[in-house]
Amino acid sequence: MHCGDRSGPVIPPDLSNPLRQLRMYRYRGSRNKWHRMSPDHDKKREYEVPPSTIELVSWNVSFDQSFCAKRMESTLRHLEKVVFKCRDGEAPEPCIVLLQEVHAIHGLDVILRDKWVREHFIVTPADVDKHWPRNALYGNVTLVEKSIPVVDAYILEFGLSQMQRTGVIVDIALGAPKPRDYDVVIRIINTHLESLPQGNDIRPEQLSLLTKFLKGPGVRGGIVSGDMNPIGPEDAALPGALGLRDAWTRGDSDERGFTWGEQPPNQYPAARFDKILYLPRRGYRVDEPQRIGVGLKTFIDRVPGGLWTSDHYGLHTKLHLLR
């Protein structure tokens, strides 16, 4: 695999927003445990040809509703059976799953115990005590299907956040379509920006910081995706002002793009909270996303009518490396 010099994200040190390297975790069946992969684990896979197209899912799975573990199980089965159309536990096509609001205990534990995840994905961060902000109740978790080479991974802790929000950064290698014979590094950032009106002045700085990472040397560009909480006066225009393009092209007022406020309806208007943003560089394309999890419920014997699996819809798209 030839990806050029990889010395980590070349971003000026910022002590107010700590950046730490992450390891990917792979499940080893012979030892019945997840283990940290070494930094050069993918060098052993140079003979493999990375994919040129990947599927990508972004989904806020709601940490603070009841029966978190049961709802996470429903989320994973929906991804397996409906979104990726896997039968009998088979592997999905090359894909990355970005989850936000994963409960530190009841959500992450379900992910790490899931047979389908164990067989087909590597995961980060998988160790709450080492890698999540201190005393965080929930966080972002990224799952990468095993055929996709991971070059580096990091977690950025937003210093101004009162809600312990982060960006999980994973650099992947994609293979240029034939007849070209080289690999390109694409940066995928999984984030959850500051919520509520008190976050109005914080979200622009958070997204601006993440955008700098997409523009770092050694990467072609990439995606920043997650729950953007765009409720402030600057939020709608912010991605464009930072040089990002929204994969959803129909605007914030189109109800077909709303991702929050309908499961269940509440006193606040439904809106497009979740977005897939990307740095518009020649050489790759991001498809317009489709909503997933619409109407999805988790059924529990003692809860008549079931529970909404999440109060957010997820988003599903594809990224294509063109050259």
Does the pLDDT value for residue 157 go beyond 80?
A: yes
What pLDDT score does 216 carry? 84
Does the pLDDT value for residue 37 go beyond 90?
A: yes
- 211-230 average pLDDT score: 95
Tokens read off for 239: 């991605």
What pLDDT score does 176 carry? 87
Mean pLDDT of the chain: 92
Domain boundaries, the chain: 19-321
Question: In terms of Cα–Cα distance, which of 204, 233, 220, 238 is closest to 319?
Answer: 220
What pLDDT score does 182 carry? 80
d(CA 103, CA 263): 19
Contact 200, 233 (CB under 8 A): yes
Question: In terms of Cα–Cα distance, which of 170, 169, 168, 107 is closest to 137?
Answer: 107
What pLDDT score does 287 carry? 98
- The per-residue pLDDT for range 159-182, each reduced to its tens digit, is 989 999 999 999 999 998 877 778
Does the pLDDT value for residue 5 go beyond 50?
A: no
- 135-163 average pLDDT score: 96
- 171-198 average pLDDT score: 92
- Cis amide leading into 125 (omega within 30): yes
What pLDDT score does 38 carry? 82
**Which parts of the chain fold into alpha helices (H)?**
68-77, 108-113, 115-120, 128-131, 203-214, 238-241
The pTM is what?
A: 0.94
d(CA 58, CA 312): 10
- The per-residue pLDDT for range 52-87, each reduced to its tens digit, is 999 999 999 999 999 999 999 999 999 999 999 999
CATH number of 19-321: 3.60.10.10
d(CA 323, CA 316): 23
Contact 29, 118 (CB under 8 A): yes
Q: State the amino acid at position 309 in one-letter form.
A: T
Does the pLDDT value for residue 49 go beyond 70?
A: yes
Tokens 């394309």, located at residue: 285
Phi, psi of 123 (to 5 degrees): -135, 145
d(CA 86, CA 79): 9
